[in-house]
């Protein structure tokens, strides 16, 4: 759970680097929480139109900046700039390329975005 909280603490911090574990654990927990909110919305009949996605929509809006920031920091960890996120606009191919980048190991040593977060007080 600390990975999720750490990303929220860096709400709009686009500088620095993010480890794979930080990125993937945040993504996993966000997905699970979103799924719970959709199910809860469907069960409660929440919203003026009784749409199950109202709770989820608020959640997505609240996490837009932290999600964007952790993606940029993850790209920084692999030695790429945040502008690489734009490749995701290319249907299918862009998502595959970003997935490969997100799964790549950290660039060894210090790069232009900072030192390797694996060895700087990072959680194990």
**Per-residue pLDDT at 20 exceeds 50:** yes
Q: pLDDT band at residue 96, thresholds of 50, 70 and 90?
A: very high
For the cut 90, the answer to whether the pLDDT of residue 54 exceeds it is no
Does the pLDDT of residue 122 top 60, yes or no?
no
- Report the C-alpha gap between 36 and 61 in whole angstroms: 16
Contacts of 76 (CB under 8 A, 6+ apart): 15, 16, 17, 18, 82, 111, 113, 114
For residue 109, the model assigns a pLDDT of: 82
pTM of structure: 0.85
pLDDT at 32: 95
């Amino acid at each position: 759970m600390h990975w999720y909280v750490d990303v929220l603490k860096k709400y709009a911090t686009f500088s620095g680097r993010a480890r794979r574990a930080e990125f993937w654990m945040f993504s996993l927990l966000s997905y699970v929480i979103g799924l719970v909110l959709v199910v809860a919305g469907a069960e409660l009949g929440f919203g003026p139109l009784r749409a199950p996605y109202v709770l989820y929509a608020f959640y997505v809006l609240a996490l837009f900046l932290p999600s964007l920031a952790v993606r940029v920091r993850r790209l920084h960890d692999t030695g790429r700039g945040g502008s690489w996120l734009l490749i995701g606009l290319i249907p299918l191919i862009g998502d595959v390329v970003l997935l490969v980048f997100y799964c790549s190991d950290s660039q060894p040593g210090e790069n232009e975005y900072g030192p390797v977060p694996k060895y700087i007080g990072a959680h194990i």
